[in-house]
Amino acid sequence: MVVEDYSVSHESFAIVQCAACSLLLTNPRPDVASIGRYYESEDYVSHSDTNKGLVNKVYQVARVYTMRRKVSLVNKAAPRRGRLLDYGCGTGHFLAACQKAGWQVSGVEPSDVARAQAQERTGQPISSGDLTQFPSESFDAITLWHVLEHVHDLTGTMQQLVRLLKPDGVIIIAVPNAESPDAQYYREQWAAYDVPRHLYHFTPKTLTKLLRKHHLHLRQTLPLVLDAYYVSMLSERYRAERNAGLLAAFKAGYKSNQQAVQHGGQYSSLIYVGSKTPAEKR
């Protein structure tokens, strides 16, 4: 399908599928040198912390709930509360919450604006993107919250992240699910395509393949239930070319979650928990 960049440029991009591995990709994909201008929007909440507009206000409120859940998940999944790396840490809210929970935190964030806020929020230096600076097997937990779909060098980044993970550590990856009911319902207006910022569009099949390719074992798949409502709010705004229809968005998000329950857990966004060793050997 052909999808419009509703957030910034209003240019159109195709969603294509790899015949060999089934991975969905944005085409054409802006390279590292040219992608920056597609993030230049005050509405890009993960970089600006903006609360302008109804959708962003809802996002800020929902983040309080999701942050607690994310920290709880990491605490339960990791072997210990040791060192944690948040790759694509944005403005540092998750890192700060993990700090409060007793973790030693490190972050990577390419955006200058977001990185400055993360450093101020955590009191820690935040890397602009160089993973080679970290020693091998130095992290008990590595997290990527809606980040992997933005990464240009998918193979190289995964290789580095696996190198940094301790033998008994966990890697936690959250991405939108292009097979979710809300993706099928909104199609070209599905906000989680977010072209061209999202370079890849994962499904449970392709994400599991990616983990396997890098010798990681999938331990657990969990839903991000609130994402269906947030994505539906954005999608309704794109569809109607006006402010989000709250009632329509709530109905679509609720229906998507109900259908996900009935059809194998195909939620709007999914969290994948992986490790170097199978769960039964941990």
Is residue 26 over pLDDT 90? Answer: yes
% of the chain exceeding 70 in pLDDT: 89
Over the range 95-119, which residues count as b (16 or more CB within 10 Å of their CB) and which as e? bbbbbeeebebbbbbbbeebbebbb
- Least reliable range by pLDDT among 12-21, 59-68, 168-177: 59-68
Per-residue pLDDT, 261: 96
28-31 long-range contacts (CB < 8 A, ≥24 apart) are 28/196, 29/152, 29/196, 29/199, 30/196, 31/152
Name the residue ranges covered by the structural domains of the chain. 2-281
- Least reliable range by pLDDT among 147-151, 193-197, 276-280: 276-280
Is residue 144 over pLDDT 80? Answer: yes
- The tokens for 7 are 């957030």
- Least reliable range by pLDDT among 12-26, 36-50, 187-201, 226-240: 36-50
Per-residue pLDDT, 42: 67
Q: What is the pLDDT of residues 109-126, one digit of tens each?
A: 999 999 999 999 999 999
Sign of CA dihedral 277, 280, 204, 71: negative
Architecture of the domain defined by 2-281: 3-Layer(aba) Sandwich (3.40)
Q: What is the pLDDT of residues 48-101, one digit of tens each?
A: 555 555 555 656 666 777 899 999 999 999 999 999 999 999 999 999 999 999
Mean pLDDT of the chain: 91
14, 23, 73, 17: which is closest to 202 by C-alpha? 23
- The tokens for 260 are 């996900």
CA distance 278 to 164: 18
39-48 long-range contacts (CB < 8 A, ≥24 apart) are 39/8, 39/111, 39/197, 40/8, 41/7, 41/8, 43/7, 44/7, 46/90, 46/91, 46/114, 46/146, 47/90, 47/91, 47/111, 47/113, 47/114, 48/91, 48/113, 48/114
Three-state secondary structure of 186-227 = HHHHCHHHCCCCCCEECCHHHHHHHHHHCCCEEEEEEECCCH
Per-residue pLDDT, 258: 97
Per-residue pLDDT, 124: 95
Is residue 262 over pLDDT 60? Answer: yes
- Least reliable range by pLDDT among 34-43, 122-131, 179-188, 210-219: 34-43
According to DSSP, the residues that pair with 200 across neighbouring strands are 25
Sign of CA dihedral 153, 160, 80, 282: positive
% of the chain exceeding 90 in pLDDT: 83
Task: Compute CA 274 distance to the chain's CA centroid, rounded to the nearest angstrom.
Answer: 15
Non-local CB neighbours of 70 within 8 Å, separated by 6+ positions: 94, 97, 143, 145
Is residue 174 over pLDDT 70? Answer: yes
Number of H-type helices and E-type strands within the chain:
9, 10
Per-residue pLDDT, 56: 57
